[in-house]
Chains A and B, each alone.
Chain A
Amino acid sequence: MRRPALGTALLLGVSLLACLGPYPNVGEQLDGVDLVNGTSYIALDAGAARILILAAFDGGSRAPFTRIDEQQPRAVQTLQGSYFGDATNTLSVTFSSTTLFSLPNEASEPVSDRTGAKRTELSPPMESEALIETRTEEVLDLSGSRDVAGHYLTLLGRTAVITGTDATATACAFHLANLAVESSEARIPGFNSAGMTQYLNRVEFFQGILSGTVSVGLVGLFSPVVTTSYSDYADFEGVLLDGVQVSSTNASGDGALSGVLGFRIQRKGLPDLEGQVDYRAVSLTGGNESGDYLVRLDGGTEFAVPTGRRVPPLEQCLGL
């Protein structure tokens, strides 16, 4: 009886501070991702990254896909569903999206007013028509619907552009790793909002789209400490995460990050590039990051990579 009473008291307390967004479904799964094992492509548009993962048809006429859009400052939209071709026109492809994971940019909102990350089931599915303009081993050009269109290059081919352990290579490796971190955050319902209170005194696990898991847990309601742990986590080809990120704040989201997150950048024709990011120099104000990520590639020295806009931009990092 004590825990329900505490839970209800917590509910009343939280209600004075925040809103938790719309009602969930009864018995809703926290993790609702589909695993998609396929080729990962990346397209860039003025610093915004679009990652497309296409599973092979394997003899069938329909295969799963994932499209991840990451804007700056942090805003993520991930679509999942299936894609299929047109029997009368082999260059015409329809993407049928059934799930949307979103993490909106709410940097200007107080934490208590944010909706945070959420998953939406699209019913009926959202259909996006596209035309394959070019398809080679390295390039995929899609025109048509803005939901999927882009000039894509294979991710593993692009990560091979990052070489050495100097400041630029270190920052570029971090920016790629951070794409995976931000992608994972969109998958955790309530992330970046008061909705995180649902992880109070529990640890929940979420599958990577490609492999591994990320877990999240929260301790303390009014001085919340959120621990996010990655284990061989990958949402797309080219980046694997392994380590811990901890945020310690007050109820307004003021505090700091800590923890060390290891990353491995896979490169076509080259050995993996391994490194780690130390979060101890990152401050949080209203849930927004400031300060520096302390990043070091194996065999290199530690460099401070400032929070905020990516410097150098991904276009430069990936040689686009």
Chain B
Amino acid sequence: MRRPQWWAVVLGLALPGAGVAVAHPLETQEPGAAPPPEAEVRATADPRAGWRHEFSPAWHMATFWSKEAGSHYTFHSLSIGYLMSVNAAGPFLHLSWVIPLQARQDGRVHSVSSLYQNGGGIDLLLGWQWRKTVTAEIEFEGGPGLHMNALNLGGKPGLTNFNALQLGPGGMTVLRWRPGWRPHKVGWTVGAVGALGIDLLDPLRSNDLRIGVTLRMGVLLGVDLP
């Protein structure tokens, strides 16, 4: 949500009977209305406050090494994600649906669609973030979290399935532009996201995972509904 709305909400709560003002920006109020207490306005006017809900298409790469065979696997995928975070310091969630496109093992390159059917995965990053404002309209967000990368590729007839469930620490950064332009009272944000996971466990695969690195880089598009 954009700043004028927050002011309106605070005013609405602070001034009983002024509920009408809730849905309107400050500048539309009557000239005679009492100004809000200065300290309170300052406290709630933090542009970093509030929820961010964003849609994010991204490139997703998972590369990992196995213990038993010593193989090196890399999967390049398209991911479609939902990003959420709260306030200047608060929790965040990045949940992505992953569509694998290319699989590599020890230098051999395969098109996923030539070997597998019904393939897909989920990338989840859950953690704590902090926001900083770079300028009035540009915001930076980053923080650590716990990462999960689940992949399930159903083999075509005669071929084995390939699946993995990799867990480990991770982190993310978001650079967000929040212009003041609000067509039809809908604010919007655009930006870029980068996330990294260092995966150390795979309970599905008897911990055959030596180490894995998951990288996700993409754009984001969010809306602030009035």
CB of B119 within 8 A of CB of A4, answer yes
Q: Which of B151, B159, B165, B208 contacts A27 (CB 8 A)?
A: B159
Query: CA A229 – CA B50 in complex, angstroms?
Result: 61
Chain B residue nearest to A201 (CB atoms) is B154
Q: For the side of the interface on A, what is the size category?
A: 20 to 34
A61 at the interface (CB under 8 A from B): no
Q: Which residue of A lies closest to B202 (CB)?
A: A23
Whether A4 and B206, one on each chain, are in contact in the complex, defined by CB atoms closer than 8 angstroms, is no
User: Looking across the interface, which residue of chain B has its beta carbon closest to that of A24?
Assistant: B160
Contacts of A115 in B (CB 8 A): 206
List chain A residues, Cβ under 8 A from B71: 23, 25
Assess whether A7 is in contact with B105, with CB atoms less than 8 Å apart.
no
A11 vs B66: C-alpha distance when bound (angstroms): 19
Is A31 among interface residues, defined by CB-CB distance under 8 A?
yes
Asked whether B29 is an interface residue with its Cβ less than 8 Å from the other chain, the reply is no
Q: Is the CB of A25 within 8 A of B158?
A: no
- Given the known A-B contacts A11-B150, A204-B157, are A26 and B204 also in contact in the complex, defined by CB atoms under 8 Å? no
Grouping DSSP codes into helix (H, G, I), strand (E, B) and loop, the B interface class, with mixed when no group exceeds half, is strand
Question: Is the beta-carbon distance between A7 and B204 smaller than 8 angstroms?
Answer: no
Interface check B55, CB cutoff 8 A: no
Interface membership of B51, Cβ < 8 A: no
Partner pick for B152 among A11, A25, A26, A30, CB 8 A cutoff: A11
Chain A residues contacting B154 (CB-CB under 8 Å) are: 3, 7
- Decide if B121 touches A8 in the complex (CB within 8 Å): yes
Q: Which residue of B lies closest to A14 (CB)?
A: B204
| Residues 137-158 (chain B) with a chain A CB within 8 angstroms | 150-152, 154-155, 157-158
Q: How far is the CB of B154 from chain A (nearest CB, A)?
A: 6
CB distance from B55 to the nearest CB of A (A): 16
- CB within 8 Å for A28 and B120 given contacts A15-B204, A22-B66, A22-B68: no
In the bound complex, do residue A30 and residue B208 qualify as a contact, i.e. CB atoms below 8 Å apart?
Answer: no
List B residues 203-225 near A (Cβ within 8 Å): 203-206, 208-209
Interface status of A189 (Cβ within 8 A of chain B): yes
A residues near B105, Cβ cutoff 8 Å = 25-26
B162 engages A24 (CB within 8 Å)? yes
**Quick one: closest A residue to B98, CB to CB?**
A8
List the B side residues contacting A23 at CB < 8 Å.
66, 68-69, 71, 73, 162, 164, 205, 208-209
Does residue A146 face the partner (Cβ distance < 8 Å to B)?
no
Of the candidates A3, A24, A204, the one having the most CB atoms from chain B within 10 angstroms of its own CB is A24
| Docked-complex contact B118 and A3, CB < 8 angstroms | yes
- 1/0 per residue B188-199: CB within 8 Å of A? 000000000000
Interface: B185 (CB within 8 A):
no
Write the nearest CB–CB distance from B159 to chain A, whole angstroms: 6
B118 / chain A contacts, CB cutoff of 8 Å = 3-4, 7
CA distance A8 to B159 in the complex (A): 18
Q: Which of B80-118 contact A (CB under 8 A)?
A: 103-105, 108, 110, 115, 118
Bound complex: CA A153 to CA B110 (Å): 47
A residues in contact with B73, CB < 8 Å? 23, 26
Can you spell out 9 A-B residue pairs with CB atoms less than 8 angstroms apart? A7-B152, A15-B203, A22-B68, A23-B66, A26-B103, A26-B104, A26-B115, A26-B162, A30-B160
- Known contacts A12-B122, A26-B110; can you find 12 more A-B pairs with CB under 8 A? A7-B152, A8-B120, A8-B121, A19-B205, A22-B69, A22-B205, A23-B69, A23-B73, A23-B205, A23-B209, A26-B105, A29-B159
Among all A-B residue pairs, the 5 with the closest Cβ atoms: A4-B120, A22-B208, A11-B152, A27-B115, A26-B105
